[in-house]
Amino acid sequence: MVAVLVVAAVRLVQVQGVQASELSALAEQQRATRVVLQALRGQIVDRNGTQLAFSVETRSLSINPQWVKNDWAKNPDVYKNLKLGTSYDDYCQRLAEFIHAQLGDQAKTADMLAKIRDTSTTYQLLVRDADPVKAKAITGRYAAVTGSARQQRVYPDGTVASNVVGYANWREDAKTPQGLIGLENSLDDTLKGTNGTSTVDTANNSDVQLPGTIRDDKPAVPGSNVQLTIDADVQYQAQKMLDAYKTTSGAADGSMVVMDAKTGEVYALAVTDGFNPNNYGDYKLEQLGNAAVSTPYEPGSVNKVVTAAGAIEYGIEQPDSVVDVASSFKMADRTVTDAWNHGDVQMTFAGVIGKSSNIGTLEVAKKIGEDRYVDLLTKFGLGQKTGIGLPGESAGSVPPRSTWSGSTFANLPIGQGLSMTLLQMAGMYQAIANDGLRVPPRIIKSVTKPDGTVVATPKPDPVPVVSPQTAKTVRDMMRAVMQRDPKDNQQNGTGYPAAIAGYQLSGKTGTAQQPDPALGGRYGSSKYWITFAGILPADNPRLVVGIMMDRPNYTIPTVGSSAAPLFHQIGTYLVQHFQIPMSATPSPVVQLQLP
């Protein structure tokens, strides 16, 4: 007895003295658990507060199949007493059926059973993004199932504005969603917030937290909410009409932007065949981009607004000035013709723009001069990013003045030999709509911080392009593009299918040949970009609309060679949606071509 007491005393001294700190630390590790408190990712909403993206708290459920089988073998009576199964196989079957009963098609019985029985692994993910209440019912009944907190990003309107909003996915290592594309990516730091932490005691080294043991609590800070300038209803209609027009025209793809004429705020930025972020994995990488800001193209005749503005600004022409238009125009090694055959004719300057005469445009551009023309391109924002804040934005391309050949100036005024994004194209017409001041477009309206403070996005500084009087004269002159004279088709503008009854409209059609690799990069005659830029209404500008269709079937009447009918469709919707009053007077009919 004395020997036993001596041994016990020695062991007691060893435990309480020599190993006290070490054993205390081990005990603390066994019972204390560090818990990550997730920061809820901020919402993305449209200008009216409609949710475009938000997060919900969910649970992922996992299991250790090897442990389950070994524990059953050691403690079968415990499982039987708890009525969890009469055998290991019966236990697995009941567990799989119970998970399915709670989660439905999210967790099919056969799938769950296969994972539970896979004893080749110590970790098996059963379900992602389970409802927390249902997950608790599962983990509460079956201790072998572990639940981990996570978030699911939800996009309630599916494809609506998906090319703008983008997509965020859960990162297990960081315990937070991470933005992968779109604004979810570029505004990730704003949206994600900061995770918190706390320490809790758990029972028997399990996930069951002991009441009243929370300490070292550092609360999570949720992410900020972001409000866009986008109008979800306008965005939906733009996408719907664009997709339908792609089908009708046989185009490969297309894009559309609707912008406030005064502020540059973007109401819609649409591309064809949008993806659904809720099913992100179903799409290829090339389907997830935003061509309206990332993919430049040659604009064709919509670029003639530069010549129109320059000629008026520098006092070279007036809308009723007569321009001699020959059957062709030659500069260096390049000969340019119009889209229709004609001999030597006379047109008004309004007619040159309204009928989209390449030859007349080049004759006027020659009077403006190359240096002043380049200066105008810069003022209109070409060759530079808009700074809208969307990832992947392209600056387009304007050839440096020092690289021009003798024929370069025969291309640029008619919209070939340079490239721009649809957003840049709309910005050019926004400057004309806004009395000569170009306001760089923006799509982020404000950010609401976790404490409720609303921080409005600073308004960009406007860029003077032309005088207010020049802008008004160009707007008035470009009404001729939508003109239709039932008695004399020589007085018809190229965009008359865009007209909307009761409203004065300004705008420009465009058609640009695409370089053909089969021809060594030279322009071909089978593939085109067709474009349209419009101001609605012309007499009191409220909106600017830009449209681009890539490689439509040019043989299909009207829709294959013009985007004007699509402008008519979206414009008719917009005047109703924004309740824009009709113009006080119709557009005057002006002479475009002289007899």
Catalytically annotated residues: 301
CA dist 478 and 308 (Å) reads 9
Phi-psi region of 387 (alpha: psi -120 to 50; beta: other; left: phi over 0): left
CA dist 426 and 259 (Å) reads 8
Closest of 131, 200, 207, 128 to residue 170, by C-alpha: 128
State the chain's maximal CA–CA distance in angstroms. 132
CA dist 43 and 151 (Å) reads 13
With DSSP H G I counted as helix, E B as strand and the rest as coil, what are the percentages for the chain, rounded to 5?
A: 40, 25, 35
CA dist 31 and 205 (Å) reads 6
Strand segments (E) across 155-265: 167-171, 176-181, 196-201, 215-218, 225-228, 253-260
| Residue 191 to residues 125, 158, 212, Cα–Cα distance (Å) | 27, 19, 32
CA dist 270 and 282 (Å) reads 20
Q: Crossing angle for the helix pair 370-379 and 358-368, nearest 10 degrees?
A: 100
Closest of 545, 543, 384, 388 to residue 457, by C-alpha: 388
CA dist 508 and 429 (Å) reads 9
Q: What torsion, rounded to 10 degrees, do the Cα atoms 381, 387, 390, 393 define?
A: 40
